[in-house]
């Protein structure tokens, strides 16, 4: 367990972010990071005093107003107005844990000393982070270019005693209470930050909303991928399926990393199974069983690709303009543009949706009255509908996932009077991905419900690993002998998967 993580000493990784968030780890700036921030601020103050040229966003307006020169005495007011005017988010609130990741990524980006922000401002963000005081941020409003302007404005409002905050802990689900930020800051004896030149831009320009959703999704999807393999193995046993399709020889001659990893997982899960020793009447299994390595494995490969992109992003400077003290340059560019993230998240959404798609097909096979299993996995089909309708539910969710997988990154709407004429829509890609992940977890939970029910009809035992998992599962979701209200079973199955502890080393 990490008790305190020092920003500036080492790069962030997805696993480090996961530890910091879930273990409620405090963060601090390294001495080197503090010096870089202070040196950059001093340089900027000096530059403003001596420069006769307009510097975008520092002594000019923003977006299409970039040619409007701002008097020196108004540069602080300009930054405050920027935060106020850009807090135009709407829709549902961003989940507490994602806001916390968002704040961590913003602090990390500012720690490089290229943003011209005051150390005092960064320290206040760290105070909020360490005390689990999270700004209320809304899901809709960002175009994913010029940064995640609206969400990051909401994140920044509390610094100037505006907006609202949720106070709680990630580890205590639902234990959050909303307050006016001014009330909480007074209780903490924290003064409002007097924003100086460039600070509003440093806070609002950046990809941290998209980045936070992407990091959270990568944390979650690695577990989902592992559980998809595990549940697929249980379904294979229940269906009395064959295992030669998982033999490493056939995967070595194709050699996709994810495919080989999935096949190995399945064989490990089934090691010692008595069911696999039975004589098989069927020469082949349907694709939803036989092609688990190829389908699940493709998703694993996408996860690896997207993980590389986000690992680069969360260790980057993404605001604008960017200040280079040693080179004596202030450069206005486009590091805030989220195209790489948008495309990666669209790709990941497709990959995750496929885990749900093939899962629902296995559920369908299990309830179809094949391989010696009763129709709808109930002892007296007809008078009992058994597991008929959970498959409907899974099919409905699969269909919604397909709709959500329309890529956001191919869309663009011109904004700011044509100055910002190509945007990534990465924020929409992020929130769609979030929904696809939650949906897929539900689909896998429904497969687990059916697989556990189906395996109860087999007289021969599966592997020790699977039998142990099922013992725990059945203690929470009992066998279905006659019809009962099943939405509680589905909720229980979802909860089982959410709370299932898996060794992190198995997820990489």
Q: Tell me the catalytic residues.
A: 56
381: left (phi over 0), alpha (psi -120 to 50) or beta: beta
> How far, in Å, are 232, 254, 259, 282 from residue 249 at the CA level?
20, 9, 12, 21
Distance CA(28)–CA(7), nearest Å, equals 6
Q: Which strands form 133-135's sheet, in the order they lie side by side?
A: 133-135, 164-168, 176-180
Phi/psi at 28 (5° precision): -140, 160
User: % helix / strand / coil in the chain, to the nearest 5?
Assistant: 55, 10, 35
Name the residue with tokens 């069927």.
Answer: 282
> How far, in Å, are 127, 132, 178, 186, 294 from residue 189 at the CA level?
11, 16, 18, 5, 57
Neighbours of 255 (CB within 10 A): 8
Neighbours of 442 (CB within 10 A): 18
* Residues 112, 173 contacting (CB under 8 angstroms): no
Residue 176 β-bridge partners: 168
CB neighbour list of residue 68: distance below 8 Å, 6 or more residues apart: 60, 61
**Checking DSSP bridges between strand 4-7 and strand 26-29, what pairing results, if any?**
parallel
* Residues 28, 7 contacting (CB under 8 angstroms): yes
Distance CA(504)–CA(508), nearest Å, equals 7
């Amino acid at each position: 367990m990490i008790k305190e993580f020092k920003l500036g000493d080492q790069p962030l990784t997805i696993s480090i972010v996961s530890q910091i968030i879930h273990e409620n780890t405090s963060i601090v700036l390294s001495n080197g990071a503090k010096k870089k921030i202070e040196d950059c601020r001093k340089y900027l103050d000096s530059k403003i005093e001596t420069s006769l040229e307009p510097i975008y966003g520092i002594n000019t307006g923003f977006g299409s107003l970039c040619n409007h020169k701002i008097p020196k005495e108004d540069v602080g007011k300009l930054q405050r107005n920027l935060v106020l005017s850009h807090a135009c988010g709407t829709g549902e609130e961003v989940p507490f844990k994602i806001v916390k990741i968002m704040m961590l990524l913003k602090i990390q980006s500012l720690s490089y000393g290229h943003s011209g922000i005051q150390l005092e401002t960064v320290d206040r963000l760290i105070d909020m982070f360490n005390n689990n005081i999270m700004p209320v941020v809304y899901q809709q409003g960002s175009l994913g270019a010029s940064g995640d302007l609206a969400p990051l404005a909401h994140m920044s409002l509390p610094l100037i005693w505006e907006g609202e905050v949720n106070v709680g802990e990630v580890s205590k689900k639902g234990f959050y209470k909303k307050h006016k930020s001014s009330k909480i800051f007074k209780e903490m004896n924290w003064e409002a930050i007097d924003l100086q030149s460039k600070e509003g831009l440093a806070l609002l320009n950046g990809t941290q909303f998209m980045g936070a959703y992407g990091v959270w999704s990568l944390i979650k999807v690695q577990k989902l991928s592992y559980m998809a393999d595990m549940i697929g193995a249980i379904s294979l046993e229940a269906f009395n399926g064959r295992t030669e399709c998982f033999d490493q020889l056939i995967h070595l001659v194709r050699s996709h990393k994810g495919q080989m990893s999935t096949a190995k997982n399945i064989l490990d899960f089934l090691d010692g199974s008595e069911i696999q020793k039975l004589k098989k009447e069927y020469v082949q299994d349907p694709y939803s069983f036989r092609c688990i390595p190829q389908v699940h494995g493709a998703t694993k490969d996408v996860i690896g690709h997207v993980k590389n992109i986000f690992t680069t992003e969360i260790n980057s400077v993404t605001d604008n303009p960017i200040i280079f003290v040693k080179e004596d340059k202030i450069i206005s560019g486009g590091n805030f543009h989220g195209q790489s993230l948008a495309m990666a998240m669209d790709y990941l959404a497709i990959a995750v949706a496929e885990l749900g798609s093939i899962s629902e097909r296995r559920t369908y096979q299990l309830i179809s009255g094949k391989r010696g299993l009763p129709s709808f996995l109930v002892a007296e089909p007809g008078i009992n509908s058994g597991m008929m309708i959970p498959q409907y539910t899974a099919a409905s969710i699969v269909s919604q996932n397909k709709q959500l997988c329309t890529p956001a990154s191919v869309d663009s709407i011109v904004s700011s009077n044509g100055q910002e004429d190509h945007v990534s829509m990465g924020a929409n890609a992020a929130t769609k991905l979030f929904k696809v992940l939650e949906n897929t977890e539900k689909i896998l939970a429904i497969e687990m419900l059916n697989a556990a029910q189906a395996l109860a009809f087999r007289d021969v035992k599966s592997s020790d690993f699977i039998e142990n998992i099922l013992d725990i599962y059945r203690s929470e979701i009992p066998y279905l002998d006659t019809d009962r209200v099943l939405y509680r079973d589905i909720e229980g199955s979802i909860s089982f998967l959410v709370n299932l502890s898996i060794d992190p080393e198995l997820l990489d």
